[in-house]
Structure 1
Amino acid sequence: METVQIPNLYWNIAADLHFPPGFDAQKKYPAIISAHPIGSCKEQTSGNVYGTALAKEGFVVIAFDASFQGASGGEPRFIEDPSHRVEDFRVVADYLTTLPYVDEQRIGVLGLCGGGGYSINAAMTERRIKAVATVTGVNYGRLMREGFSGFSPIALLESIAQQRTAEARGAERRVDDLLPPSPEEAKRVGATEIDVYEATEYYRTPRGQKPNGLNRSLLSHQGNAVGWDAFHLAEVLLTQPLMVVVGDKVGAFGAYRDGCEIIGRAASKTKELVVVAGWSHYDLYDKPEPVRQALAKLVPFFKEHLS
């Protein structure tokens, strides 16, 4: 593995390159861009689980941190803005085309959770991406308008407006912690809905905890997300082969629902919904059996469409 810094506008994107066994820099390899969930980082499921697994199957995989998050640059920190998140894919694709061992005609993308929605949206207008797959992918804009705003998007936008005004006048930035500090605290405060509780169990215990996977969001910069739709124009612009992997233990973050929706809407002639029976959103992050089942579909999908 190699860690690299990729120039963006006025900051760098930090990324890990995962190489196949017996890697030979004189050869040409297919490449996969692996995108992390909301509030996550490249050292979690996008890199250390799916990135390493796909590299073992012969792909060069680049797992990157979103701008303003993780080890990537950008100020202020903890911005979760879809326009920046989607642009990151283009910047990473730019970088891949400069690597002599990457075949620029064989670049795919894999997105996890919110990274799945971003992957789909990026692929619509980034034609260097030749195949798209998501694992428990979520349309972050839809989630912001619904569960993350308490189904009151206008009230959230009013709060954002007030906070931006306060910050413009010198107030301290408000950074929200999106999860309880521990599973025990989640139970104490009643945060036991399956996705919320299992997110806490993953991110707030040694199972998935990493220094840069902080699950924080800057309130004053959330407005764009409220008005964004990952699937906008999918009926026209999303034509690449598409695979969507979801678990059938349904939670509030809505990956199953979003997966069914994008499979129905995508213009892709080749598209497949893979339902991993008996497993949940966060099971698909790192638990061996559901990850094995997901990879059993993802690996041949990428091999076929990046051949």
Structure 2
Amino acid sequence: MKSVKIKHTYWDIAADLYYPPNFDESKKYPAIISAHPIGSCKEQTAGNVYGKALAEAGFVVIAFDRSTQGQSGGLPRYIEDPAMAVEDFSRVTDYLVTLPYVDADRIGTLGICGGGGYAINATMIERRIKAVVSITGVNFGRLCREGFSGFDPIGQMEAMARQRTAEARGDAPQVDQLIPPSLNVAHEAGITDIDVLGATDYYRNRCINDHAGTRAMFSRRAASVLWDGFHLAETLLTTPLMVVVGDKPGGFGAYRDGLEIYGRAASKVKELVVVEGASHYDLYDQPDPVGQALAKVLPFFQKNL
């Protein structure tokens, strides 16, 4: 593995490159851009699970921290702006096409959770990406309009506007924690949703990493409420697509989003993989669900890149 910096506008994107066994710089390899979940970082499931597995299968993989998150630059921190998130894919693609050992005509992307929704949207815009896989992908705009706003998007955007005004006048930024600090706190609060509990277990117990923010700046989330990651998929999403979901749905809505984008995509080559008995966070790192996903994902990329 090699850590690199990729130039954005006024900051750098931090990324990790994973190489295949017996890597030879004189050869050309297909490449995969691996995108982390909302609140996560490149070292977690995007890198240490899917990135490593794809590299072992013969791909050059680049797992990156989105702008303002992880080890990437950009201020203020912890912005969840979909337009900026999607632009990051193009910046990473710009970097990949400069590498002599990357075949610029065989670049794909894989995203997990919100990274899956971003990857799908980026693939519609960034035509240098030739295949896309969504692992328990979420349309973050839909989630912000629904569960994350208490099904009151207008009320939440009004609150965001007030907070942004307060910050412009000198108040401290409001940075919200996306998940409880521990499973005990979640249980004491009466939380029963499988996705919230799964997120808490993953980020607080199973895969702790100081680079994972698990937070978002409240005053800068209005753009997410407006956004629709699947807009124009019937026309613009034409590249080969694989959608992987678990059959145990939770509040983040990956199951419904997965079925929706599979149905709407214009892609002539598309596959829907439903992993039985798996929840959203099982597909992050649990050996059996991840193994079932990879058994489909690896041949998909090998065939379409």
TM-score > 0.5, shorter chain as reference: yes
Does the residue aligned with 1:204 lie in a helix, a strand or coil? Answer: helix
Equivalent position of 1:240 in the other structure: 239
Equivalent position of 1:299 in the other structure: 298
Equivalent position of 2:221 in the other structure: 222
Equivalent position of 1:250 in the other structure: 249
Equivalent position of 2:284 in the other structure: 285
Separation (CA, whole Å) in 2 of partners of 1:27 and 1:118: 30
Note the C-alpha offset of 1:209: 1.0
**Which residue identity does 2:295 align to in structure 1?**
A
Aligned identity (percent) is 67
Note the C-alpha offset of 1:192: 2.1
Confirm whether residue 191 of structure 1 aligns to residue 191 of structure 2.
yes
Q: TM-score, normalised by structure 2?
A: 1.00
Separation (CA, whole Å) in 1 of partners of 2:293 and 2:69: 27
Equivalent position of 2:89 in the other structure: 89
Equivalent position of 2:268 in the other structure: 269
Separation (CA, whole Å) in 1 of partners of 2:142 and 2:24: 43
Confirm whether residue 171 of structure 1 aligns to residue 135 of structure 2.
no
Note the C-alpha offset of 1:214: 2.2
Equivalent position of 1:66 in the other structure: 66
4+ residue segments displaced more than 4 Å: none
**Which residue identity does 2:170 align to in structure 1?**
G
Equivalent position of 1:10 in the other structure: 10
Separation (CA, whole Å) in 2 of partners of 1:208 and 1:10: 31
How many residues matched?
A: 305
Separation (CA, whole Å) in 2 of partners of 1:125 and 1:84: 13
Separation (CA, whole Å) in 2 of partners of 1:193 and 1:216: 19
Equivalent position of 2:26 in the other structure: 26
Separation (CA, whole Å) in 2 of partners of 1:216 and 1:279: 25
Separation (CA, whole Å) in 1 of partners of 2:276 and 2:190: 27
Separation (CA, whole Å) in 1 of partners of 2:36 and 2:81: 14
Does the residue aligned with 1:179 lie in a helix, a strand or coil? Answer: coil
Separation (CA, whole Å) in 1 of partners of 2:172 and 2:164: 10
Separation (CA, whole Å) in 1 of partners of 2:273 and 2:25: 34
- Provide, for residues 11-58 of structure 1, a one-character-per-residue CA deviation record: whole Å limited to 9, x for no partner: 000000000000000100000000000000000000000000000000
Separation (CA, whole Å) in 1 of partners of 2:26 and 2:184: 52
Equivalent position of 2:180 in the other structure: 180
Confirm whether residue 159 of structure 1 aligns to residue 166 of structure 2.
no
- Provide, for residues 57-99 of structure 1, a one-character-per-residue CA deviation record: whole Å limited to 9, x for no partner: 0000000000000000000000000011000000000000000
Separation (CA, whole Å) in 2 of partners of 1:6 and 1:237: 27
Separation (CA, whole Å) in 2 of partners of 1:36 and 1:260: 21
Q: Provide structure 2 residue ranges, at least 5 long, that are not aligned to the other structure.
A: none
**Which residue identity does 1:41 align to in structure 2?**
C
Separation (CA, whole Å) in 2 of partners of 1:275 and 1:208: 24
Confirm whether residue 128 of structure 1 aligns to residue 116 of structure 2.
no
Separation (CA, whole Å) in 2 of partners of 1:54 and 1:210: 22
- Provide, for residues 100-135 of structure 1, a one-character-per-residue CA deviation record: whole Å limited to 9, x for no partner: 000000000000000000000000010000001010
Separation (CA, whole Å) in 1 of partners of 2:191 and 2:19: 39
Does the residue aligned with 2:34 lie in a helix, a strand or coil? Answer: strand
Does the residue aligned with 2:272 lie in a helix, a strand or coil? Answer: strand
Query: Superposition RMSD on alpha carbons, in Å?
Result: 0.4
Q: How does 1:105-144 map to 2 (within 5 A)?
A: 105-144=105-144
Q: TM-score, normalised by structure 1?
A: 0.99
Separation (CA, whole Å) in 2 of partners of 1:163 and 1:118: 26
Separation (CA, whole Å) in 2 of partners of 1:116 and 1:180: 23
Separation (CA, whole Å) in 2 of partners of 1:193 and 1:255: 13
Note the C-alpha offset of 1:191: 1.8
Does the residue aligned with 1:299 lie in a helix, a strand or coil? Answer: helix
